[in-house]
């Protein structure tokens, strides 16, 4: 799938995205996601260090490997949401199996510009730690 999208006369927005996986191959899954995101957004992608977390209100007992991504984009919010969901589907995310608890990949748009889109996720400590690391310029381009 080609993720290239032309956009004109829009200001760049600072965006934060959460990546997560709770399958045995989670480190490889997140690497795959980072490659796809870099292909879509180029050099504006920066990633926090991945961190293992226990599931929160989740039926599947395996921990999640989570990571925060920061980027600057002129893409409209709706185009960004559609692109991220298409990436999840391409990476074998099936919404029909969400109740089972196994999550191959989760790519969530946390914020777009000044708007926080997922306040519950935004307030989690590992998300705030990732945002802080990226905001203080310690995030890696990886």
Taking only the tens place, the pLDDT of each residue in 74-105 is 999 999 999 999 998 888 755 545 556 678 89
Whether 34 is covered by a domain: the verdict is yes
pTM of the model as a whole: 0.84
Neighbours of 15 (CB within 10 A): 21
**CATH number for the domain harbouring residue 92:** 3.30.70.560
Q: How many domains does the chain have?
A: 1
Neighbours of 107 (CB within 10 A): 21
Whether 7 is covered by a domain: the verdict is no
Whether 99 is covered by a domain: the verdict is yes
Whether 88 is covered by a domain: the verdict is yes
Whether 130 is covered by a domain: the verdict is yes
Q: Where are the beta strands (DSSP E) in the chain?
A: 13-21, 46-47, 51-53, 64-73, 106-112, 115-116
Q: Which domain holds residue 121?
A: 13-135
Whether 41 is covered by a domain: the verdict is yes
Whether 90 is covered by a domain: the verdict is yes
Whether 96 is covered by a domain: the verdict is yes
Taking only the tens place, the pLDDT of each residue in 9-65 is 468 999 999 999 999 999 999 999 999 999 999 988 999 999 999 988 777 778 999
């Amino acid at each position: 799938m080609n993720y290239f999208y032309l956009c004109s006369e829009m200001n760049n927005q600072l965006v934060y995205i959460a990546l997560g996986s709770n399958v045995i191959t989670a480190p490889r899954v997140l690497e795959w996601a980072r490659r796809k995101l870099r292909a879509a957004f180029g050099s504006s992608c920066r990633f926090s260090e991945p961190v293992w977390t226990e599931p929160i209100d989740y039926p599947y007992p395996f921990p999640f490997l989570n990571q925060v991504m920061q980027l600057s984009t002129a893409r409209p919010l709706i185009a960004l949401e559609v692109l991220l969901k298409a990436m999840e589907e391409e990476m074998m995310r099936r919404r029909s199996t969400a109740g089972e608890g196994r999550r191959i990949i989760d790519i969530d748009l946390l914020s777009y510009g000044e708007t926080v889109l997922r306040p519950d996720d935004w307030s989690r400590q590992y998300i705030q730690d990732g945002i802080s690391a990226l905001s203080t310029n310690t995030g890696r381009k990886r």
